[in-house]
Structure formats: C-alpha cells, structure tokens
Chains A and B, each alone.
Chain A
Amino acid sequence: MRERAFGTLVAIYWKPLYKYIRFRWNLGHEDGEDLTQEFFRLAFEKAWLSRYDPALARFRTFVRTCVDRHVSNWRRAERRTKRGGAFAMVSMDFDLAAREFQDGAPAPDCDVEAVFQAEWVRAVFELAIARLRVECEASGKEQPFALFMRHDVEGGQRDDRPSYGDLAREFSLPQTQVNNFLALARRRFRHHVLAALAELTGNQEEYAEAVRDLLGTAAR
C-alpha cells in the first residue's frame, strides 16, 4: 500500500466536496466553506483517510461517507466551526467554487453519486492543466500550452473549434509545428492526469479503478 499524496488529494477533492456539501446538505456558501476546510484539517490531523478499506467501498465513496459523518456531527453539535482557519496546504478559491455552484447548480432530483463523480473528473483535469501550465512556463514551452488550451480546452467549449490551419495562422506557425506542439502538450497532459491519479490512490487496483472511472468512457 502506497502513501496517498495529501496535497494532491486536497487539490482534487476540495471543490467536489464543497459542492457536494452544499448540494447534499442544502447549505449556504459560508457553511460549505467552513465544513470543507474543517474536514480536510481534521482528516489530516486525525488521519481519517488512512482508515480506508478498499474491500468495503471505493475511495471516493469512503470520502463522501466521512464528509457526511462530519457534517452530521457538526449539525448535531449545533455549532459552527471557527471561521478563518483555512487549510494551508492548497489554496481554495471558495468564491469561485460558489459561483460555479450557482451557475451549474444540479437539479434537486439528480443522482448525487453522478454529480460528485463529474466534479471529481473536472477537478482531476483542472489540476492536470494547472500542472501542465507550470511545467510549460518553466521550460519555455508557452506556445504548446497555449495551443493546447486553444484547441482542446477552450476549443472544446465552442461549436466552431479552430482547425490546425486556423491555429497555424493565429500563432504564425507552420501547420506541422502546430501538430507537433499539440502532440507534445497532449502527451504531457496525459502524464499529469495519470500522475495525479497515482498520487491519489493507495495501490495498483485502486489506481486502475480510478483510471477506468476517469477515462473508461472516453468520447468516441
């Protein structure tokens, strides 16, 4: 059993859990923020997540169960966690998360599991993109990263996705170079995705399951 990288775990799980708490427990922004921060602080201090048993459930299900218990205890005690004690390991932009939650609030009757899974996938990809950005900036490969963002990330959000020819004109590059740069950035993106999953998981079986959950339904 390998050690999970707690920093990666927080970086990927904080936003899905914040949204989950707000949706599942019907709580407001401040409560959601407090509970999320407090959960990670206690999980770290009391090593809650080391109690995970792969034979009983998936890790994501276990985390949600821990969060549910945490929120339930908080409600029973009828007290609020002290504000301002942000978990220092990872920066958490709760205002952004709150806006995202408002903009894409799930329907009341939707499947909580599916919503949490979708948020988890989103968080893994966002972390991989952030790491790719850092890597590209550090190694002077800004153009491959910019092309990747334009074609695969932002381009995916538009109906008129730019062709390689469009990108070649826009970036003043030969089309073969666009092809090479995109291939490079995609290769590194894949590396960061799989590395994040490896850091998140405790053993090979868990890793394989996480890969299946993330990529098993790749677009055809």
Chain B
Amino acid sequence: MTPLRDDAIARLRAVAEQPDLSATRYELRELLGRGGMGAVFAAFDRELGRTVALKVISTAAETPANAARLRREAQILGHLEHPNIIPVHDVGILSDGRSFYTMKLVQGRRLDEHLQEGLVIAGRLQIFERICDALAFAHARGVVHRDLKPANIMVGPFGEVLVLDWGVAKTGIEPTHQTEKRFGPVPPSGLSGAGSIVGTVGFMSPEQAVGDPDVDARSDIHALGAMLRLMLESPGHGDERGQVPRRQRPLAAIADRALSTLPEARYQTVLELAEDLVRFRDGLPVQAYRENLLERFMRISARYKLPLALIVGYMLMRLLLLLMAPG
C-alpha cells in the first residue's frame, strides 16, 4: 500500500468521525459545522422525506457527562416550543454508542454574517426583538441560555430568527414572570455546569466570567446588550464603525444599560428591555436615556411629522394670503 498522503488523512479523519446512522431513519448528508463538544450534520429523514440537522457528540468528546449534556440540551429544546427557538425532532443513541438529536435544518446565515449586509436599523431591530421574544419565553420557563452571541442566532431567507445552541443553558432559575403554570413544568435541571465558566468572551456577563453559580436571566440580558451594541456598530449602519448616529443614541443607551456591570443596574427582565425598544420605535422617550431639549424637539418632530407639516403649511398659506390681501 502506498503511504497515505496528507489530504487522504484529512478525509479519513472526517470519515472516522461520521456518525453511524445504520439503525436509524436518517441518511447522512454533509457536515455543517463542528463545535467544542459535537458536530452537526445534515441528514435525510427517510420516514418524513425531509432533511434535518443532526447533532452528535464528537468521538474526542465522548464522555458520559457530555452525552448527558447533549440529551439535556435536547430536552430543554423540547420544552421550549417557540417560533424563535430551534425545534427538536428526535433524540437517541446511535449504533456507535454516541448520543444524538435531530432538529430543524435552518437554511440561513448566522447573525454575524447577516449583519455584513448592512441592514437598515429597522431591520436590525426587528431581528433583535425576535431574539428578545425567544429569551423572554425561555426565562419565563426558568431557562437561561448563557451563551448568547451572533454565531448562535440564525436568520433564515424569509426573515425567520432562531436562537440555537442551548448546550450550556442553565435550568431551574426563578421564572421571570408568573407564567410557569401556563407553560407547564420547567425542563430538568441538574447538569447545569454550576460554578464552571461557560460562555463567550465579549458577550458573557461579568458574573458568568468569574464562574458565579447563581447567574440568572440578567446574565442573558448582558449578552443581549452586547449584541445590540454590535448591531448598532456593524458596518453599513453607523456613520463609521464604532460610532452611533445622534438619533440612535437612545438605542446605544439601552445597550449600555443592559451591559451594566452590576446585574441590579441592568434591565431586570427581557420584557423591560424590549419595552424600551418599542418606545424608541414608536418615537417615545426611552427609560435608559435622558434626552436634552433639542433631542426631545427632534424626536417629537419626527414622531408628529405629518401633523406638523400640515400645521406649518396651513400657517404659511395664511401668511401668504395675508400678504397678498389688497389694502
């Protein structure tokens, strides 16, 4: 046998990592992505005639703890049925002994890639509000995501927004609203990684960064603030990268409040944050920003553009008639 060349070795590595789907209803398609613990493949569901995303633990990360973590992630997703949270279809163990679950295959792009298009602010806020909806729902079920970042948000071709990767989510926190009964029991708690440092630098809250085991929904609010900041400062929107236009200073203030170092200084719920965004969109003053007289005038002018234009037009017409009147 001739010696294996480097490109053959790379291929064989991928082959050896492929999940054994022989005893399942799925046919392997292609590798979609690889993370620290697992890999996600596209797989065809022969029973339902559709392609799904199949997440499986990498061989290198195959431990009982990681298997339990993957199953728990699937269970959490199973409990979080929401239009903006990736739906899970199936969970099980493959013939090769590895745990897996299948979920909806999202044909879209990650938020960080999507932002490169230079969307207008209204489009960005629409996406952000949907992320807030998903998080408000999860928090109401007692689940904190703990790894919110643009790479974990998918934006579909028809504007669908889905929050992914709940692998390090913490369950069993105090629900943020009295909605527990309405939504049923919270997902199982246990392997929450309490006390360990999880998350992504740049988005994780200060309390998460020091491994505080008592992080709550306000930790996700910090990550939402970081994402809102990124959305405001991404190219194609601000005057130049890193600068937010004057009219959007209230949005920057909303992000800053969500990013406060102390959890007590942040919005206490995602709904509070979302309400401030709605106020901005409706031309109302936001809680997080104290505007000066000029800014207030500009905001009111923008909000009542049409009535103001009519009044000014009417006044001008009256003035014109007055000047043209004989004698």
Q: Does A217 contact B (CB under 8 A)?
A: yes
With contacts A187-B20, A216-B60 taken as known, whether A152 is within 8 angstroms of B15 at the C-beta atoms is yes
The docked-state distance in angstroms from the alpha carbon of A193 to that of B21 is 18
The residues in A between 187 and 204 inclusive whose CB is less than 8 angstroms from any CB of B are 187, 189-190, 193-194
Contact between A215 and B5, CB atoms less than 8 A apart: no
Contact between A215 and B58, CB atoms less than 8 A apart: yes
The docked-state distance in angstroms from the alpha carbon of A212 to that of B16 is 12
Most interface-central of B12, B59, B95 (chain A CB within 10 A): B12
The stretch among B27-35, B203-211, B224-232 that forms the contact with chain A is B27-35
Which range contains the number of A residues in contact with the other chain?
35 or more
Q: Which residues of B contact A208 (CB under 8 A)?
A: 60, 62-63
The residues in B between 191 and 241 inclusive whose CB is less than 8 angstroms from any CB of A are none
Q: Does A5 contact B (CB under 8 A)?
A: no
Q: Which residues of B contact A217 (CB under 8 A)?
A: 13
Contact between A218 and B14, CB atoms less than 8 A apart: yes
Q: Which residues of B contact A154 (CB under 8 A)?
A: 8
With contacts A190-B16, A190-B20, A212-B60 taken as known, whether A122 is within 8 angstroms of B3 at the C-beta atoms is yes
The docked-state distance in angstroms from the alpha carbon of A216 to that of B33 is 13
The residues in B between 5 and 51 inclusive whose CB is less than 8 angstroms from any CB of A are 5-18, 20-22, 27-28, 31, 33-34, 39
With contacts A190-B96, A193-B16 taken as known, whether A211 is within 8 angstroms of B9 at the C-beta atoms is no
**Candidates A126, A155, A184, A218; contact of B1 at CB < 8 Å:** A126
The docked-state distance in angstroms from the alpha carbon of A153 to that of B1 is 11
Contact between B13 and A189, CB atoms less than 8 A apart: no
Contact between A125 and B9, CB atoms less than 8 A apart: yes
Q: Which residues of B contact A220 (CB under 8 A)?
A: 31, 33-34
Contact between A189 and B3, CB atoms less than 8 A apart: no
With contacts A122-B4, A212-B60 taken as known, whether A189 is within 8 angstroms of B16 at the C-beta atoms is yes
Contact between A122 and B17, CB atoms less than 8 A apart: no
Contact between A186 and B15, CB atoms less than 8 A apart: yes
Describe A's contact surface by its main secondary structure.
Answer: helix
What's the minimum C-beta distance from B39 to chain A, rounded to whole angstroms?
A: 8
- Chain A-chain B contacts (Cβ-Cβ < 8 Å), number: 96
**Candidates A118, A152, A216; contact of B12 at CB < 8 Å:** A152
Complex: chain A residue closest to B97, CB-CB = A194
With contacts A215-B59, A220-B31, A220-B33 taken as known, whether A156 is within 8 angstroms of B1 at the C-beta atoms is no
The docked-state distance in angstroms from the alpha carbon of A214 to that of B17 is 10
Contact between A157 and B8, CB atoms less than 8 A apart: yes
The residues in A between 150 and 189 inclusive whose CB is less than 8 angstroms from any CB of B are 152-157, 179, 183-184, 186-187, 189
**Candidates A183, A193, A212; contact of B28 at CB < 8 Å:** A183
Complex: chain B residue closest to A99, CB-CB = B3
Complex: chain A residue closest to B39, CB-CB = A218
Q: Which residues of B contact A130 (CB under 8 A)?
A: 1
Contact between B13 and A219, CB atoms less than 8 A apart: yes
10 contacts between A and B (CB under 8 A): A125-B4, A126-B4, A129-B1, A183-B28, A186-B15, A186-B16, A187-B22, A187-B96, A211-B59, A218-B58
Excluding A100-B3, A215-B58, 20 further A-B contacts by CB distance (< 8 Å) are A118-B9, A122-B3, A122-B9, A126-B3, A129-B1, A156-B9, A157-B7, A183-B21, A183-B22, A187-B95, A190-B18, A190-B20, A190-B59, A194-B59, A208-B62, A215-B13, A216-B58, A218-B13, A218-B39, A219-B13
